[in-house]
Structures are given as C-alpha cells and as structure tokens.
Structure 1
Amino acid sequence: MEVTFNTYTISDDKTRLDIDIIGGFLSRSYWANERPIEKTQKAIEHSLCYGVYDQNRQIGFARVITDGATMYYLCDVFIDEQYRGQGIGKKLVETIINSEALQGINGILGTKDAHSLYESYGFSRVADRFMRRAAVAE
C-alpha cells in the first residue's frame, strides 16, 4: 500500500524502512529511549509498519501491533522534527486507521503529548482503564 500526500509517500513496505533513522529517533523519544535497537528490529518484524518518505529519505514511522480480529495497538509514531506542522502526522494516522487491515477493530495507544491529534481520529482518553506490567530483567 502506498499513499501520496503532497510530495510525501506513506508506505507499508518494510523493505523501505531505515532502521538507523527509526532507531535514532526512538533513542531521543520519551517512550523508547532505553529500548535497544535489536528490540526495535524484532518489534518491526512482528508488526504492521508504516514509513513516511520524502523521496527516498524516511521522515516518519508508525508501528501497529494487532491480532487482526479484535484489537490493535498504535505505537512508535513519529515525524522528523524538520517536517512537523505540515499535516504529515495527521495523514499518517488517517492512513493507518482507515487501512483495510484495521477496519472493525478496536484501537488503543498511549501518548503523553498528542491527545488532541488522536482525539480528532476517534480515540478517547480512558487512562483509568489501563494497567501495565513492566518487563522483568533477564
């Protein structure tokens, strides 16, 4: 699947993903800054992934974990700082939630700072309903 937005391309082709760009951004994020690149690579292998490209340069990313029937978890969403404010992130989220693979499936996500973006796509805040169990170190 490929979607064109202005001069940008959104694609679910994993062969186009640039792990160095993804890892570099996630290492600066508040949610994945301690995640080793090897875990990110494994997560990508087992997820639906969407890259955003300015010609051949990756400028954005999102990952979706799903069972394909009842629920999906949208995560690791980012747009390169230099490209923000152009509606690219909105188009990325719109493309994902409207994808054929996720139709009729409940979605969840976690965010510290982008609530209004996701609310505009039908997500609502339900923090009191979620629980978390941290991974135990091996």
Structure 2
Amino acid sequence: MRTHDGYEIDDDRDRLDLDVIWSFLSTEAYWARWRTRPDVAGQLASAWRVVGAYTSTGEQVGLARAWSDGVTSAYLGDVFIVPEHRGRGLGVAVIEEMIDNGPGAHLRWMLHTADAHALYARFGFAPPDHKYLERQRDHVSELRQSRDS
C-alpha cells in the first residue's frame, strides 16, 4: 500500500467494495453497463491483479483491474475514479501502481478505451503497431446469429 494526497492506493483484493464497483460500472461506465453483478464479481475474483483507491476512512473511490499470464502480457480494464474524487491525480496513481510498481512492470500492456488517451499515453500506451490484430466483439455476434439462422 502507498498513499497519494491523503488517499490509500492498495492492491489488497480483500478491501474491494463490490457495492461501490458495481454501482459505478453498472451506471457510469460506458464499457461495462451490460455486465451483470455476478459477472463483475467473477471478474474481480479471477483478476490477476486489482488496485483500489481509498479515502482515509477506507471508502473505495477507484479501481483498476488486470488479467495476465504473468509472463508476457497483461490487459488493463475497469479503470475508474468516482466523480466526487476526480481531479486529484488518483487515476494516475492507480495506473502507476498497477503498471509500474507491481509485478507486471516488464509486461506488454494492452487496453481498450474511448477516452482518457492522454492519461494512458503518460504510461506508454499508443495505437497498436502492424503486428497487433484483434477480433472484434461484433464479429462474434454476427457469427452466432448466422449459426442460429
């Protein structure tokens, strides 16, 4: 655990508050509203690493979740700071703890986001190079529909 501007940044998964996480992801996160609460609970339980941001009284106000093989690559997801606590550098602190200060500092990190590109650029994230391919989720839906027809 480390501190940032009076907040605690911690990777202890026992501190996670599913109510806070679910509240944010199900109402405010454009990328996660379709997930169910059991989906989110399962993702947290099976995450390679989680980092939370907490007030001095222990209230959770932020999160970053990652999955990884622990050897070559990691995916960063569900990064958020609740609106009332933004503007204090907590997003930077949570990402820094996840990527630079943890066991995955040597990994190739990936993420998908429609916003905060400048924030992630500070940590070396950039558009993929010519070696990176990805199968879009829409493609999977189209395959399932064609099979069911």
Matches within 5 A, 1:1-138: 2-28=1-27, 29-47=29-47, 48-55=49-56, 56-126=58-128, 129-133=133-137, 134=140
Over aligned residues, Cα RMSD in angstroms? 1.8
Measured after TM superposition, the shift of residue 104 of structure 1 is 1.5
Measured after TM superposition, the shift of residue 120 of structure 1 is 1.1
Measured after TM superposition, the shift of residue 132 of structure 1 is 2.4
Letter of the structure 2 residue corresponding to residue 18 of structure 1: D
Measured after TM superposition, the shift of residue 74 of structure 1 is 0.3
Contact persistence 2:4–2:93 (CA under 8 A): yes
Q: TM-score, normalised by structure 1?
A: 0.91
Hey, what's the Cα distance between the residues in 2 that align with 1:27 and 1:130? 26
Write out per-residue CA displacement over residues 37-76 of structure 1, whole angstroms, 9 at most, x where no aligned residue.
1011111111111110002100001101010001000000
In the alignment, structure 1 segments of 5+ residues that lack a partner are none
Number of equivalences: 136
Percent identity between the aligned chains?
36
Hey, what's the Cα distance between the residues in 2 that align with 1:123 and 1:38? 30
Runs of 4+ in 1 over 6 A off after TM superposition: none
Contact persistence 2:51–2:97 (CA under 8 A): no
Letter of the structure 1 residue corresponding to residue 2 of structure 2: V
Q: Which has the larger radius of gyration?
A: 2
Hey, what's the Cα distance between the residues in 1 that align with 2:127 and 2:3? 30
